[in-house]
């Protein structure tokens, strides 16, 4: 029998990302044993019904015992608590990782709890949906998507290689960078766009009653896409903005300045400025499509086949 990539894989948090990773690991035979822990008893019961784990427990500590790789798949604000719980139970050579959308603060929160005989190798699969919970996951979520690995300075190269190998085997393309750089890039590519969506949908919801109902009735194209993003999990996104405060504020500052420039062009009827701006942004969209990361559909990076069944039309 071929030895699996990870003899014992522990996944802490069985929501969208944790359950997708467990499903991918199961379908692709990446782990000898998949142990799933979730603090929520209802989630544990559902994971047992769905059957993508070999063992299910409410105790992260129990799941971490004897595990080769432990991956925290919880909101970033809970990653320190998970590290504190599993840290004392990590065996020599074990790797603690995560999937959080923010990296520097997660590294800072988890590092103090990782014993000298274990390794901390954080990661972020840049793939997801607006849905949460164990039913929302699917095995192909990471297929041909990026996973960014952010090893701390002096990380053990063999431990980093094992995390990279796991994500590649789950279908992802992997790139390595510092946690700080990750947070700056993701602030503009993911965090600020989510904030814009939350904001515009909030603005529409607070218009006069008749106008709001027309917004809902005629919502198509742009606004409809924003409502999808703005329905993402409130706990997860609260934690993202509180954890990546500096980078988000930096990018929001630049965004606001550029928005003011567009506002001025509209006010003064500067068609050339608007045309030049829209031409530049169109080119960016085209280069994303050419790199094969996006379909032409306005769907924030997801291909139809990657959507959960209930979403496919």
Ligand X SMILES: NC(=O)C1=CN([C@@H]2O[C@H](COP(=O)(O)OP(=O)(O)OC[C@H]3O[C@@H](n4cnc5c(N)ncnc54)[C@H](O)[C@@H]3O)[C@@H](O)[C@H]2O)C=CC1
Instruction: Please choose, out of 10-18, 205-213, 246-254, 280-288, the segment that lies near ligand X by the rule CB under 6 A.
Output: 10-18
CA–CA distance from 44 to each of 50, 69, 306 (Å)? Answer: 10, 20, 25
Shortest separation between residue 66's beta carbon and ligand ENO, angstroms = 30
- Cα 152 from Cα 162, distance rounded (Å): 15
Would you state the structure tokens that stand for residue 59, as one six-digit string?
A: 């105790």
Question: Is 114 a binder of ligand X (CB under 6 A)?
Answer: no
Rank residues 5 and 136 by Cβ distance to ligand ENO and give the closer one: 136
Rank residues 68 and 233 by Cβ distance to ligand ENO and give the closer one: 233
- Cα 295 from Cα 264, distance rounded (Å): 33
Q: What are phi and psi of 61, to 5 degrees?
A: -60, -45
23 secondary structure, DSSP code:
H
Residue among 117, 98, 118 nearest 108 (CA) = 98
- Cα 164 from Cα 148, distance rounded (Å): 9
- Cα 6 from Cα 120, distance rounded (Å): 16
Shortest separation between residue 255's beta carbon and ligand X, angstroms = 21
Question: Is 149 a binder of ligand X (CB under 6 A)?
Answer: no
Per this entry, what is the length of the chain?
Answer: 313
Could you say which residues in the range 220-239 bind ligand X, by CB under 6 A?
Answer: 233, 236
Residue in the structure block whose two tokens are 């992997």: 174
Question: Is 38 a binder of ligand X (CB under 6 A)?
Answer: yes
- Name the binder of 31 from ligand ENO, ligand X, none, CB < 5-8 A by kind: none
Rank residues 127 and 187 by Cβ distance to ligand ENO and give the closer one: 127
Question: Is 60 a binder of ligand X (CB under 6 A)?
Answer: yes
Q: How many CB atoms lie within 10 A of CB 108?
A: 14
Question: Is 129 a binder of ligand X (CB under 6 A)?
Answer: yes
**Where does this chain bind ligand ENO (CB under 6 A)?**
101, 126-130, 190, 229, 300-301
With CB under 6 A, what is the number of residues at the site for ligand X? 31
Instruction: Please choose, out of 1-9, 86-94, 97-105, 158-166, the segment that lies near ligand X by the rule CB under 6 A.
Output: 97-105
Shortest separation between residue 301's beta carbon and ligand ENO, angstroms = 6
From the number of C-beta atoms within 10 Å of its C-beta (0-12, 13-18, 19+), residue 72 rates as buried
Residue in the structure block whose two tokens are 């996104």: 237
- Name the binder of 43 from ligand X, ligand ENO, none, CB < 5-8 A by kind: ligand X
Residue in the structure block whose two tokens are 């946690």: 179
Residue among 200, 142, 118, 109 nearest 23 (CA) = 142
Instruction: Please choose, out of 109-117, 125-133, 248-256, 264-272, the segment that lies near ligand X by the rule CB under 6 A.
Output: 125-133
Residue in the structure block whose two tokens are 């980093």: 160
Options 6, 9, 10, 17; binder of ligand X; rule CB under 6 A: 17
- Name the binder of 177 from ligand ENO, ligand X, none, CB < 5-8 A by kind: none
Options 90, 99, 169, 201; binder of ligand X; rule CB under 6 A: 99
- E-only strand ranges, the chain: 6-12, 31-37, 55-57, 69-72, 95-98, 119-120, 123-125, 146-149, 173-176
- Name the binder of 190 from ligand X, ligand ENO, none, CB < 5-8 A by kind: ligand ENO
Question: Is 61 a binder of ligand X (CB under 6 A)?
Answer: no
Could you say which residues in the range 240-299 bind ligand X, by CB under 6 A?
Answer: 240
Question: Is 135 a binder of ligand X (CB under 6 A)?
Answer: no
Judged by the rule CB under 6 A, the positions of this chain that interact with ligand X are 12-18, 37-40, 43, 60, 73-76, 78, 81-82, 99-101, 125, 128-129, 132-133, 233, 236, 240
């Amino acid at each position: 029998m071929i030895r699996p990539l990870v003899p014992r894989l522990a996944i802490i948090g069985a929501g969208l990302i944790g359950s997708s990773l467990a499903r991918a690991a199961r379908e692709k035979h990446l782990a000898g044993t998949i142990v799933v822990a979730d603090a929520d008893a209802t989630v544990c019961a559902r994971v047992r019904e769905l059957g993508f784990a070999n063992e299910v427990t409410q105790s992260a500590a129990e799941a971490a015992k004897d595990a080769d790789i432990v991956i925290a798949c919880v909101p970033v604000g809970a990653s320190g608590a998970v590290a504190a719980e599993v840290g004392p139970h990590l065996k020599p050579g074990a790797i603690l990782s995560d999937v959080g959308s923010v990296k520097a603060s997660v590294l800072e929160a988890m590092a103090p709890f990782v014993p000298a005989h274990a390794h901390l190798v954080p990661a972020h699969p840049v793939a997801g949906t607006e849905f949460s919970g164990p039913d929302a996951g699917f095995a192909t979520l990471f297929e041909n998507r990026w996973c960014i690995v952010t090893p701390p300075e002096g990380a053990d190269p063999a431990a980093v290689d094992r995390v990279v190998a796991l994500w590649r085997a789950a279908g992802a393309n992997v790139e390595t960078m510092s946690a700080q750089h990750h947070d700056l890039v993701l602030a503009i590519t993911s965090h600020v766009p989510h904030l814009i969506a939350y904001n515009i949908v909030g603005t529409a919801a607070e218009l006069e009653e008749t106008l709001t109902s027309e917004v809902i009735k005629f919502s198509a194209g742009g606004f409809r896409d924003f409502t999808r993003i703005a329905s993402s999990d409130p706990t997860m996104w609260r934690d993202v903005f509180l954890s990546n405060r500096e980078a988000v504020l930096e990018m929001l500052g630049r965004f606001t300045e550029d928005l003011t420039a567009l506002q001025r062009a509209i006010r003064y009827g500067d068609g050339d400025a608007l045309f030049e701006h829209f031409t530049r942004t169109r080119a960016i969209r085209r280069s994303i499509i050419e790199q094969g990361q996006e379909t032409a559909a306005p769907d924030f990076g997801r291909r139809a086949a990657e959507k959960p069944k209930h979403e496919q039309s």
